[in-house]
Amino acid sequence: MAPDNSPAQLPPKRQRKIIHVDCDCFYASIEMRDDPRLGNKPLAVGGTPDRRGVVATCNYEARAFGVRSAMSSHQAQKLCPDLVFVKPRFDVYKEVSRQIHAIFQDYTELIEPLSLDEAYLDVTQCELFNGSATLIARDIRRRVWQELNITVSAGVAPNKFLAKIASDWKKPNGLFVIAPHEVDDFVAVLPVAKLHGVGKVTADKLKRRGIVLCSDLQTWSRFDLLREFGSFGERLWALAHGIDERQVKVDSQRQSASVERTYDRDLPDAAACAKELPELLAKLEERLTRLADRYRPERPFIKVKFHDFTQTTLEQQGAGRDLDSYRRLLEQAYRRGNRPVRLLGVGVRLTDLREAALQLRLFED
């Protein structure tokens, strides 16, 4: 018999199956769960109006009045006079988040946390429910509700970009699936404003060029988008075609460490702001000490939020992390607004020492 010289047949590549899980108004849900008297009342978790607080999150009853996260508590109370304010209990939220992640681990080890209340799961290799990502997502939602009395929304799709959009499609307490054969039709009618990285400015710029839906964006070539939007044009082209090759990152890297404080009374000028720096920097150093084995601090930065909620962030390559260096950064940042300040933050960009060591070994080899 003649030898078989045909090329070896490789096993077919598995279609990726990504689930994005997002808890519904997480902090507020926990507060309503733990205190049934809060049920059906408009509720905000955050600081109180008399303390110049900010809304961390709110329930859907409050959102019906226009209350939103990151809104000043004073403005929130104006919109909803009956709004109930609850002080955050972050230790409780972290513990519930840990319990939710323990449920995730029964399905996959490929989990990328985005925050306490949301995460990506890659269930491509999961054999439960005959490998059905839809049934896996449904079971996760069932268990989180039955075991923790918390509702979560989930999106299922072939990639992270679409899974995240899908999880928001039927919120709250919903499940939405974008199957591989549905991607083209789904993306074609998707507003470009929904694309990751497209903020109001970019959306307005696209609209002026007649681009409202991804189908409009698909008529542009890669080259034209690169010319018009720089490196972001490549990303726009890919997303408009439903393409996202990003992997679920199990061990996510920190990009920065920072400390910030909102003041009960506005700091009137730059000199008053400078007096707050030593305390902020001391707290920052404490945080950096805990990261010392893994990260190296690099560029310092400073964040200033003015009394009208406009804000600016300034960083400088090569600057020191001493008090005088931060003072100089603060002076420059303050001049951008030159008005009373409600929040100050100090921080530093980080380099992952393990990644740096890996790169060094690659060059040595």
The residues carrying an active-site annotation are 118
Helix (H) / strand (E) containing 85: strand 84-86
Q: Cα angle at 93 between 91 and 95, to 5 degrees?
A: 70
CA 179, 183, 185, 187 torsion-angle sign = positive
The answer to the question of whether 324 is labelled as a binding residue is: no
Contacts of 285 (CB under 8 A, 6+ apart): none
What are the Cα distances from residue 350, in Å, to 48, 85, 120, 296? 34, 36, 24, 6
The CA-atom distances, in angstroms, between 218 and each of 47, 194, 237, 341 are 45, 15, 7, 44
The answer to whether the annotation marks 117 as part of a ligand binding site is: yes
Q: Is 133 left (phi over 0), alpha (psi -120 to 50) or beta?
A: alpha
User: For the chain, first and last CA: distance in Å?
Assistant: 46
Structure tokens at 181: 């054969």
Question: Annotated binding residues, as ranges?
Answer: 22, 117
Question: Annotated binding residues for Mg(2+), as ranges?
Answer: 22, 117
